[in-house]
Amino acid sequence: MKILLILALGILLSSPAQADPRDDIIAGFKAQGAGDANLANGQKMYSTTYGSGKPDTPKCTTCHGATPQQGGQTRTGKAIDPMAVSRTENRFTDKKMVDKWFRRNCKGVIGRECTAQEKVDFLTFLASQ
Ligand code: HEC
């Protein structure tokens, strides 16, 4: 019995660490031509006033929190959880969501889709927060 328990514990401890779904999403953007993440650029994107998209959404923080650690709200007042992964654990773990919102929000704020590099920068910056 004791031996079985030790065996079971051994298997548990030796199983590989859980894969981070964000790694796959980032790998996908790299396959589209992005290089390593530039955290400073990701941080800049988060708070830059672009003004080249829709007039009522000049920056990401029009809806997202003033800092990544703070929550935000949609134009209609619906709460948005903080973007920092340390605050909202499941951020950027669903590729469909990531693609959908990058497409919609980059167009709305910047007036064009974000590049694969910008997506890696933005996502990696927020994963570090
Ligand atoms: C008009 C409001 C609004 C603006 C402006 C906005 N967002 Fe968002 N964003 C949302 C909403 C709503 C969601 C979905 C709710 C959620 O994820 O909590 C979201 C989600 C996202 C997600 C997916 C998060 C995840 O966990 O998968 C990404 C990526 C994103 N936004 C990027 C951006 C970027 C980059 C900008 C600026 C260029 C931006 N957003 C500006 C409203 C906005």
Tell me the pLDDT band of 55, cut-offs 50, 70 and 90: very high
Distances (CA, A) of 111 to 40, 59, 62, 90, 103: 22, 11, 15, 27, 10
> Residue 2 above 90 pLDDT?
no
- Residue 19 has a pLDDT of 81
> What's the whole-number mean pLDDT along residues 79-89?
98
First to last CA, the chain: 45
Q: Is 46 in the pocket of ligand 1 (CB under 6 A)?
A: no
Contact 106, 16 (CB under 8 A): no
For the CA of 50, the closest atom of ligand 1 is 38
C-alpha span between 43 and 51 (Å, rounded): 17
Instruction: Decide: 73 and 83 in contact? Cβ < 8 Å.
Output: no
Residue 37 has pLDDT above 70, yes or no: yes
Residue-averaged pLDDT of the chain = 93
pLDDT at 9: 66
**Ligand 1: does its nearest atom lie under 6 Å from the Cβ of 91?**
yes
Assess contact for 25 and 72: CB atoms under 8 A. no
Determine the average pLDDT of the residues in 26-36. Answer: 98
Q: Is 124 in the pocket of ligand 1 (CB under 6 A)?
A: no
The per-residue pLDDT for range 4-17, each reduced to its tens digit, is: 777 676 666 665 66
pLDDT at 104 (0 to 100)? 98
Please compute the mean of the pLDDT values over residues 17-38 and round it to a whole number.
93
Residue nearest to atom 25 of ligand 1 (CA): 92
CB 95 within 8 A of CB 28: yes
